[in-house]
Amino acid sequence: MLPKFPLSRRQILFLGLSGLAGSAAVTAGKVVNTNSQVQALYNPQRDFKVVGQNSLKQRAASKGIIYGAAVEPEFFQSNTPFRASFLKDCGMIVPENSLKWTQLRPAPERYDFAKADWLAAFARAHGMLYRGHTLVWHNDIPVWFKEVVNRQNAEKVLVDHITTVSKRYAGKMHSWDVVNEAIDPESGRSDALQTSPWLDFLGPDYIELAFRATAAADPKAMLVYNETWIEYDIPKHEARRKATLKLLENLLKKGTPIHALGIQSHLMAHEKGLNPKKLRAFLSNVASLGLKILITELDVIDQQLPADSAVRDRMVASVYEDYLSVVLDEKAVIAVLTWGLSDRYTWHASFLPRSDGKPVRPLPLDFNFQRKLAWNAIARAFDQARKR
Ligand code: 9MR
């Protein structure tokens, strides 16, 4: 079911859209475009040709890169053609929601692993990698939490959860987003940490604690810190990049078992702030800490693009290729994961709907699982990437 548009205050806060400073602003719950970026994106001459028949996962793999997507079990169960498309293009599965606290923990003493186990078995049966999202996220707090968790038991609750969940998939998980979105430059704190019950109860060390608990339970998984809205050359993203680097440096200084940065990459087609030089420098800085980088939740927000789907698809494809050509230039980037594969199943439909009511088109395949120019753009970026 689609929520009402304009977005509710809760959705805007959830998305952090109030921080899309610079070229877009939120007025009365509506994202309003105030620049010419959208016009500049349209180039009818731009060539999105791809060579050969290889799938995305094959093109990526030939460069030592993993391609995969987020999904939920019900997408497969209700739709056989989607399953075929997913198997063809994806080398990795990420449960979009099934490994979150709110899904796994219906009650304080009860775990429900049904969906996450189903996806793990599906991945194994089809020779795909499996990746975990996420063990700690301030936005993913079950309703019972407030009544049950306090300063005295918070550490035990957190470590028990992490241990139970990560032990269950130990040795089978490629990587875990151990902590998600721990930074908020607008929190007013000098360390720019995002307010969260974990921060309230345990202080800033909850992050290190979470990484150590995950490493103890699953010593083989790659442990990732996952962050959002750090892609563009706008003040809020710049501040978050700075705080992210600092956080990573501090964690490493303390010997925390952390292996990679996840860059979510929900790209804003209307945003003119993509600055290849600055983004590239940030990636180099992360890589020079000895960390790998994963593009973890890639998709393109087409909310402010023209209604015409051919025009829109061309613009979305440009955003994909422009972004990926910068990030894949950094050899530390080892995976590109889109937040969904087909426009039929995308969080944008409910969180970032268009004001004209037209279906959103943020992903590589359309509503009927046909390739769009976005698919070509991703394929081209893999083809042009250097081997890792
Ligand atoms: O796509 C996810 C949506 O279905 C959920 O309702 C929402 C809340 O759990 O989370 C969405 O995924 C988010 C991800 O977990 C973290 N980064 C932002 C993603 C989009 O909101």
What is the DSSP code string of 211-258?
HHHHHHH-TTSEEEEEE-S-SSSSHHHHHHHHHHHHHHHHHHHTT---
Residue 295 has a pLDDT of 99
Best probe residue, ligand 1, of 12, 71, 97 (max atoms within 8 Å of C-beta) = 97
pLDDT per residue over 204-222, tens digit each? Answer: 999 999 999 999 999 999 9
Phi, psi of 19 (to 5 degrees): -100, 5
What is the C-alpha to C-alpha distance for residues 154 and 151, in angstroms, rounded to an integer? 5
215: in domain: yes
Average pLDDT on 64-84 reads: 94
For residue 140, the ligand 1 atom closest to its alpha carbon is 9
pTM of the model: 0.93
68 is in which domain, residue-wise? 9-384
Residue 39 has a pLDDT of 82
Residue 251 has a pLDDT of 98
Average pLDDT on 288-314 reads: 97
Least-confidence region, from 24-38, 158-172, 240-254? 24-38
309: in domain: yes
6 has pLDDT over 60? no
1: in domain: no
23 has pLDDT over 50? no
Q: Is 183 left (phi over 0), alpha (psi -120 to 50) or beta?
A: beta
For residue 228, the ligand 1 atom closest to its alpha carbon is 17
Is the distance from the beta carbon of residue 285 to the nearest atom of ligand 1 less than 6 Å?
no
Is the distance from the beta carbon of residue 97 to the nearest atom of ligand 1 less than 6 Å?
yes
Residue 77 has a pLDDT of 83
**Distances in Å between the alpha carbon of 345 and those of 258, 301, 369?**
31, 14, 10
- Any idea which residues carry the catalytic annotation? 181, 297
* Nearest alpha carbon to residue 304 among 10, 35, 43: 35
Q: How confident is the model at residue 266 (pLDDT cuts 50, 70, 90)?
A: very high
Q: Whose CA is nearest to atom 4 of ligand 1?
A: 347
Residue 30 has a pLDDT of 41
Please tell me the distance between residue 45's alpha carbon and the centre of ligand 1 in angstroms. 35
Is the distance from the beta carbon of residue 264 to the nearest atom of ligand 1 less than 6 Å?
yes
**Distances in Å between the alpha carbon of 161 and those of 94, 104, 110, 167?**
19, 10, 11, 10
Q: How confident is the model at residue 8 (pLDDT cuts 50, 70, 90)?
A: low
Please tell me the distance between residue 143's alpha carbon and the centre of ligand 1 in angstroms. 17
Residue 35 has a pLDDT of 54
Q: How confident is the model at residue 166 (pLDDT cuts 50, 70, 90)?
A: very high
Q: How confident is the model at residue 37 (pLDDT cuts 50, 70, 90)?
A: confident
Secondary structure element (H or E) that encloses residue 351, with its range: helix 348-351
Residue 26 has a pLDDT of 37
38: in domain: yes
What is the C-alpha to C-alpha distance for residues 24 and 35, in angstroms, rounded to an integer? 8
Secondary structure element (H or E) that encloses residue 311, with its range: helix 309-327
Is the distance from the beta carbon of residue 345 to the nearest atom of ligand 1 less than 6 Å?
no
Is the distance from the beta carbon of residue 348 to the nearest atom of ligand 1 less than 6 Å?
no
Residue 300 has a pLDDT of 98
Q: How confident is the model at residue 381 (pLDDT cuts 50, 70, 90)?
A: very high
Average pLDDT on 73-89 reads: 93
Share of the chain above pLDDT 70, in %: 91
3: in domain: no
Q: How confident is the model at residue 78 (pLDDT cuts 50, 70, 90)?
A: confident
Averaged confidence pLDDT in the chain:
92
Q: Which residue has the higher pLDDT, 122 or 78?
A: 122
Please tell me the distance between residue 145's alpha carbon and the centre of ligand 1 in angstroms. 19
Q: How confident is the model at residue 51 (pLDDT cuts 50, 70, 90)?
A: very high
4: in domain: no
Is the distance from the beta carbon of residue 302 to the nearest atom of ligand 1 less than 6 Å?
no
Domain count, the chain: 1
What is the C-alpha to C-alpha distance for residues 232 and 269, in angstroms, rounded to an integer? 11
- Is the bond preceding residue 235 a cis peptide, omega within 30 degrees? no
Pair 100, 125: CB distance under 8 Å = no
**Distances in Å between the alpha carbon of 277 and those of 110, 199, 282, 283?**
48, 34, 9, 10
Average pLDDT on 115-131 reads: 98
In sequence order, the β-bridge partners of residue 371 are 365
Least-confidence region, from 1-10, 28-37, 71-80, 254-263? 1-10
Q: Whose CA is nearest to atom 1 of ligand 1?
A: 347
221: in domain: yes
Q: How confident is the model at residue 18 (pLDDT cuts 50, 70, 90)?
A: very low
What's the CATH code of the domain at 367?
3.20.20.80
Please tell me the distance between residue 86's alpha carbon and the centre of ligand 1 in angstroms. 20
156 has pLDDT over 60? yes
45: in domain: yes
24 has pLDDT over 70? no
Q: What is the Cα 96 distance to its own chain's centre?
A: 9
Is the distance from the beta carbon of residue 297 to the nearest atom of ligand 1 less than 6 Å?
yes
Is the distance from the beta carbon of residue 96 to the nearest atom of ligand 1 less than 6 Å?
yes
Secondary structure E strands in 81-194: 92-95, 129-137, 175-180
